[in-house]
Amino acid sequence: MDNRHWIAFSLVRGIGPAKVRRLLDYFGDLTRAWSATPAELREAELDRRSLDNLLTARDRIDLELVLKRIERLGVQVFTWESPDYPRNLLNIPQPPPVLYVLGTLLPNDEWAVAMVGTRRASPYGREVARDLACGLAASGVTVVSGLALGIDTVSHRATLDAGGRTIAVLGSGLDHIYPAANQKLAEEIARSGAVISDYPLGTRPDSANFPPRNRIISGLSKGVVIVEAPEGSGALITAEFAAEQGRDVFAVPGSILQSSCRGTNQLIKDGVRPVLGVSDILEELNLTLVTERKEARTLLPADETEQKLLTLLSAEPTHVDELGAQSHLPIAQITGTLALMELKGLVRQVGGMNYVTAREARAAYRVE
């Protein structure tokens, strides 16, 4: 797949997800949009500032040089059109059109939990982060964080030490690891997981970059755990994004005398679920069978029977007898397939042999 013009547009200041969608809707693809005349771009409702930025970028950018640098650094590029674009992230409002990736993103990374918190972590916060990350890794859950010092670093390191997968999301280009103290950690993460950014190569760390990247941390995950955070912490911005994206938010309770715990304690006071152990996260997010689901996905890819049942199921409970009548399949085949689909997280039994599609399956297969 040729991503060159997706990459090109990611280099244009002021053209984000909404404008990329508008250009795709108007031109059909970004190759045509990149070479469009100013008049055509105005007809596509590109505002004046974005139009000026685009015209300047087209004259300034040596796209072939950019592509060679990406290849030389071993960076993968994923777009909305890439089959391996992370499913969780694709289903948030305005997902990033382009992701730059060092390492490997796997389908099983959809079973992910984000862990974030203060850079000035206390010994208590570090110990809790280490314990939760190890527990998630042992359960086959991918841990997502932001590579910052403090809670993020502890979460990444503990996951790696436990033999698990972790994903680091940057607020800079992949050639500008921040903080620099975590350069080696980032390299280690890339070898067994992934370091990703929606910022193009050459983007230096900037305070304005980090709040927007937090939507990616939460978007990649089923839920977000705030381990330790004072009032006004960037971790609380991640919690806000998570709530807007329909993700579950968890907070670790801390001392009422400790300023670094005021943000998390306030979240709990406001109704966020407190975390007293990793089982609270796994049970609430239905992640207790991740290992079994991974094995089921590996052993039995989606087939025609699964596809047919997914088209017949919805958010409303449907009895297996009704599925049999509509699909003209033997009941034994239906119940056997549904059992495997439940392990994969595609469907859920809601009692009395009634089934519904899981939220993730509805998003992925557009089942209504």
* Residues contacting residue 304 through CB under 8 Å, at least 6 positions apart: none
Q: Report in angstroms the alpha-carbon separations of 320 from 302, 305, 342, 352, 353.
A: 19, 14, 14, 9, 6
pLDDT averaged over consecutive 10-residue blocks of the chain (368 residues)? 89 94 94 95 93 94 95 96 91 95 93 96 96 95 97 97 97 96 97 96 93 95 96 92 95 94 96 95 82 56 78 88 92 88 78 76 42
Residues 319 and 330: their CA atoms lie apart, in Å, by 14
Residues 204 and 172: their CA atoms lie apart, in Å, by 5
- Adjacent-strand bridge partners of 113: 143, 223
Residue the block writes with tokens 């795709």: 24
Q: Find out whether 11 and 62 touch, Cβ atoms under 8 Å.
A: no
Q: What is the pLDDT at residue 292?
A: 62
Strand order in the sheet with 273-274: 76-79, 98-103, 194-197, 166-169, 142-145, 112-116, 223-226, 248-251, 273-274
Q: What is the pLDDT at residue 368?
A: 38
The structure's pTM equals 0.79
Q: What is the pLDDT at residue 170?
A: 98
Residue closest to 123 by CA, chosen among 228, 253, 224: 228
Q: What is the pLDDT at residue 294?
A: 59
Residues 164 and 113: their CA atoms lie apart, in Å, by 12
Mind listing the domains of the chain with CATH numbers? Answer: 1-70 (no CATH), 103-284 (3.40.50.450), 290-365 (1.10.10.10)
Q: What is the pLDDT at residue 205?
A: 93
Q: What is the pLDDT at residue 306?
A: 86
DSSP category for residue 317: -
Q: What is the pLDDT at residue 189?
A: 98
- Adjacent-strand bridge partners of 142: 112
β-pairing, 354-357 vs 318-319, is antiparallel
* Residues contacting residue 225 through CB under 8 Å, at least 6 positions apart: 113, 114, 115, 116, 132, 250, 251, 252, 275, 281
Q: Does an H or E element contain 349, and which?
A: strand 347-349
Counted residue by residue, the chain has a size of 368
